[in-house]
Amino acid sequence: MRTILEMQKQLLPDLMEILKKRYTILHQILLSDVIGRRTLAVSLNMTERVLRAETDLLKAQGLIEIENIGMRISDSGRKLLEALEPIVKDIFGLSNLEERIQKAFGLRKVVIVPGDSEASPLAKKELGRAGAKALLGVISSKDVVAVTGGSTIAEVAEQLSPPGNLSLKQCWFVPARGGLGESLEIQANTIASGMAKRLGAGYRLLHVPDLLGKEAYESLVGDPNIHDIVEMIREARIIIHGIGDAMEMARRRKLEDSVVQDLQKEGALAESFGYYFDENGVVVHKMLTLGLHLDDIKSTETVIGIAGGKSKAKAILAVLKFGHEDILVIDEAAAEEIVEEIERSESRRAE
């Protein structure tokens, strides 16, 4: 298939551009549910006249439906997009990026979605959709799934729908740790319960703050109810987590200035699971928190990391060097930065 695509690129470059354009239009309509022509034209940086000609063709082919409230994808259009997905990855060059990162870090699977999720809400929605698909690809009937918080993982929850061939009634979703005390919608508890409800699974919640003092920690860890849920979290077969910039997460946690200064001195770049990592993937700081421990992460069967945005590339790299990811779902902007860094490192080693 790749050889055929390469020949088409050489002989019919205009055809490939048309394919990319029409795929992008269809894909944006899919992610938007319902969207007006003017809004779509702005999001695609396209004139309404050009877009009208394209959408009229897509309608004539039965791929979209045009109503008074806007355009929506048809069942035929949805099926076509699913069939085109692996081909389009080659056309956009995403397959090469996936293979490069997968090989460099020995990952089971890498999924890259087009665009920059920091710049485009639709790209972030697609990142969530890809994350949901990755989770559904590995979940089984009696799993415990531990979930972290954050806006990206919240988007994954929004994109989940029950698999038609598998009952998940005996699955459990649990928060990987306590709450940060910020927006309820992106708390681990909220996301875990939302995922469970969408999939018809069970859930248990951990009603404690993420950051604890020593006395509070010792008091809570001995509570029988807290102990039971923490044990369940630590036995999770699947972890699905986001990746944050170290300094941004320190700010959100409202850490003391002295702790922030220590993180800077230690070269902390990334935060995940309540641990801070430097550029080599070494843990330089850990939070006193209930939930997942480092040993639990190392022994978990499937760890799925989901993050996006050009500015997150260094943080994602740091967590990859920690070496316990199995599946990585990122966007094109982050992937390009990561591959550039891989190539720079290889060049330095070759000198």
What are the start-end ranges of the E strands in 171-274?
172-175, 202-203, 238-242, 244-245, 270-272
Residues 113 and 22: their CA atoms lie apart, in Å, by 17
Helix (H) or strand (E) holding 155: helix 151-159
pLDDT of 184: 75
* 308, 123 Cβ separation under 8 angstroms: yes
For the chain, what is the mean pLDDT? 87
Q: Where in the chain is the domain with CATH 1.10.10.10?
A: 2-91
pLDDT digits (tens, 9 = 90+) for 155-176: 999 999 988 777 899 999 999 8
Q: Provide, rounded to the nearest whole percent, the portion of the chain with pLDDT above 90.
A: 55
Domain 2-91, CATH class in plain words? mainly alpha
Selection from 182, 217, 229, 222 nearest residue 288 by Cα:
217
pLDDT digits (tens, 9 = 90+) for 2-12: 566 666 666 66
Four-residue CA torsion sign, 115, 120, 122, 125: positive
pLDDT of 191: 95
**What is the SS3 assignment for 236?**
coil
Residues 343 and 351: their CA atoms lie apart, in Å, by 13
**What is the SS3 assignment for 281?**
coil
Residues 200 and 233: their CA atoms lie apart, in Å, by 19
Selection from 271, 274, 295, 278 nearest residue 286 by Cα:
274
Average of per-residue pLDDT across 332-351: 88
Q: How many CB atoms lie within 10 A of CB 224?
A: 6
Q: Which residues of 261-285 are buried (b: 16+ CB within 10 A; e: fewer)?
A: eebeebebbbbbbbbbbbeebeebb
pLDDT at 211 > cutoff 80: no
pLDDT at 59 > cutoff 80: yes
Residues 207 and 184: their CA atoms lie apart, in Å, by 12
Residue 235 identity:
E
Residues 110 and 329: their CA atoms lie apart, in Å, by 6
pLDDT at 334 > cutoff 90: yes
Domain 94-350 fold is Rossmann fold (3.40.50)
Which token pair is 117?
Answer: 């999720």
Average of per-residue pLDDT across 129-155: 94
Q: Tell me how far the alpha carbon of residue 144 is from its chain's centroid.
A: 19
pTM of the model: 0.85
Q: Where in the chain is the domain with CATH 3.40.50.1360?
A: 94-350
